[in-house]
Structure 1
């Protein structure tokens, strides 16, 4: 009897310990008591926990699964934001840093996955610092239109291209050398288009089952499955998704007249800006044109929030697979909004990324009189 009670006690203690949530704790300097600390999951575009700095410390709940993902630790201090990416799973993670250490020199311990990713980060750190300086220069507003400035700007763009090429090369070497790690297959999907399809297939086949069956392995498998990306002149790629009324629809149902296929996200600022122009197009071209908005949000709740805000009068679709589903991969969508204009014969006649005032109307005017 005593042995049974002992075993039961061990069992319940084990269950209690395993059910306790992990934490992300920090000892930081340079910040004030009351500075807000946020944990941002960029995949679902949501803050998943928050707290405040107190006596140079903070504690957040870590509710990740056993498969790591990138989340951002962000501290808001004096209207400035200090962020660092964490590639972590359900682990107890410890942060040690001064304000000046963000984002490149923050010490993170407790995660084997972040440790592995840090090997790559350290190899690309100097390039990333230089890249940020160039990007800030290129984004800085200026009225200088001199030949000297144009020459300097061109040089900066060339430097940026060289840096991107060097960083991608380092990442590709890292992926091949550390293939059966989450850090490597996470990067493999990001660089999928830079690998020859045959080489990508071989790398995928060399993954252990644990990684092949993970969310990252499934993304690569989906990319390999859908084949080459669609381009102008191709027939549209048919797909299936749920509309805002809960009905499963095939995209081919809408064929027979022009279709403006709008790939969008709920919390994408340019997407929100485009809604007004889309409504104007919908009102003036409804006889000859259908608008279909495909929301890339993985969360149905977030998709529905976007619908409540935007109130589109046309069909919207969502497949619940997020930005790495087969449909977005096939159409080569890497940013939002992205628009495809499809003619009544099902051929893609034009597409573009981003939003500029009147550009949607101009594209449609080019094809529909």
Structure 2
């Protein structure tokens, strides 16, 4: 299962400020041994794609590539000693970007860049650096504890101790994240809405909802009210809205929730069009490993039970080209739709927090069952449990 959270969802904005073509990223680090691998990833909506990796030599690494738009990339360190986070790096055509750092706390590495989005990120980072470092260190501790708890020979008593330690780290991390967001909100209150501003607002809204922080939610609502109509209609704006004002989630026994969907050819569809058979809704993303693992079983179900069952895959990627590429690679032959709203549209009506997420619907259009995650054979077992009654 892949949780979809604010750390890995962002809008990409085009710009004409730079000549089209090559970007260059160079890094100079101390306190990190040579042979350490540094990876560059690109954020394509909900999907993180590895662009390149480089091995540190004499403290240096570098990446070059081409882009025709301003886009969000991430830099990560590939070893257990790095925190479970990354450095946001905004690139643009023609941009030359320099990175420096003195430890493995990547989130607070320094970035020199002509890209205005990066300069804005740097402003927020400077205001929160001390707390960001605390937070990164806590993610390292949590990763170490979690790695130990997964060992096969661990005793029940030790497992109990580790769970308590993880809970303690999580509580500390939550407190530190509130300190970070409080300082970011202070900046947001004094600055205009921008790409980065919206990204920060989404982070605050996510922590307010899932961290159960009502005071933070109230501050996020005040900030949300500053958005104009166009900003509210953006994918990020809609995601913020459903985080702050969650829609009513449909439950077992209730009628299905419906929406306007389109297939990859642009044809309009509704779930109600397929009443009369059992429906299996498959909420998926191209960046979700278990979602992709489930594709052969979905095809098997679609082919073998076509007289009883209609399989409908509902993609939650925010960029159509990502949805299209994944669909073509996996050779999806069954019904494959999207409302174009990521996690803010129909996914919110079904209470989707993690994917793959499945919903079983009766021929009369009533919700029979919902579940999250995939293991081989699990879909067949679930579907047969309903269709053979």
The answer to whether residue 113 in structure 2 is matched with residue 97 in structure 1 is no
Whether the 8 Å contact between 1:25 and 1:57 is mirrored in structure 2 is yes
Gaps of 5+ in 2: 1-15, 113-121, 189-196
Match for 2:144 among 109, 123, 133? 133
The answer to whether residue 311 in structure 2 is matched with residue 311 in structure 1 is no
Within a 5 Å distance, the mapping from 1:18-57 to structure 2 comes to: 18-19=17-18, 24-28=25-29, 30-31=33-34, 38-41=40-43, 43-47=46-50, 56-57=59-60
Task: Report how many residues are paired.
Answer: 341
Whether the 8 Å contact between 1:87 and 1:113 is mirrored in structure 2 is no
Q: Could you tell me the TM-score, scaled by structure 1's length?
A: 0.75
Match for 2:123 among 88, 94, 112? 112
Gaps of 5+ in 1: 1-16
Shift of the alpha carbon at 1:65? 7.8
- Distance 1:18-1:82 versus aligned 2 partners, 3 A rule: same
Aligned residue for 2:295, secondary structure, equals helix
Match for 2:321 among 298, 301, 310? 301
Shift of the alpha carbon at 1:264? 1.1
Shift of the alpha carbon at 1:31? 3.0
Whether the 8 Å contact between 1:23 and 1:93 is mirrored in structure 2 is yes
Name the larger-Rg structure: 1
- Distance 1:173-1:332 versus aligned 2 partners, 3 A rule: farther
Shift of the alpha carbon at 1:247? 0.8
The answer to whether residue 284 in structure 2 is matched with residue 264 in structure 1 is yes
In structure 2, the partner of 1:13 is none
In structure 2, the partner of 1:348 is 367
Bigger RCO of structures 1 and 2 (CA < 8 A, at least 6 apart)? 2
Shift of the alpha carbon at 1:337? 1.2
Shift of the alpha carbon at 1:315? 0.2
Whether the 8 Å contact between 1:230 and 1:331 is mirrored in structure 2 is yes
- Distance 1:114-1:251 versus aligned 2 partners, 3 A rule: farther
Aligned residue for 1:45, secondary structure, equals strand
Q: Could you tell me the TM-score, scaled by structure 2's length?
A: 0.72
Aligned residue for 1:328, secondary structure, equals helix
- Distance 1:26-1:152 versus aligned 2 partners, 3 A rule: same
Shift of the alpha carbon at 1:133? 0.9
Compare 246-255 and 19-28 and name the one that shifted more.
19-28
C-alpha distance in 2 between matches for 1:36 and 1:102: 11
Whether the 8 Å contact between 1:44 and 1:297 is mirrored in structure 2 is yes
Whether the 8 Å contact between 1:87 and 1:117 is mirrored in structure 2 is no
In structure 1, the partner of 2:205 is 189
Compare 298-307 and 225-234 and name the one that shifted more.
225-234
Compare 279-288 and 222-231 and name the one that shifted more.
222-231
Whether the 8 Å contact between 2:135 and 2:176 is mirrored in structure 1 is yes
Shift of the alpha carbon at 1:92? 6.8
Aligned residue for 1:351, secondary structure, equals strand
**RMSD over aligned Cα atoms:** 3.9
C-alpha distance in 1 between matches for 2:330 and 2:132: 39
Aligned residue for 1:229, secondary structure, equals coil
- Distance 1:347-1:121 versus aligned 2 partners, 3 A rule: farther
Within a 5 Å distance, the mapping from 1:152-301 to structure 2 comes to: 152-179=158-185, 180-181=187-188, 182=197, 184-194=200-210, 195=212, 200=217, 203-207=220-224, 209=226, 213=231, 216-224=236-244, 227-301=247-321
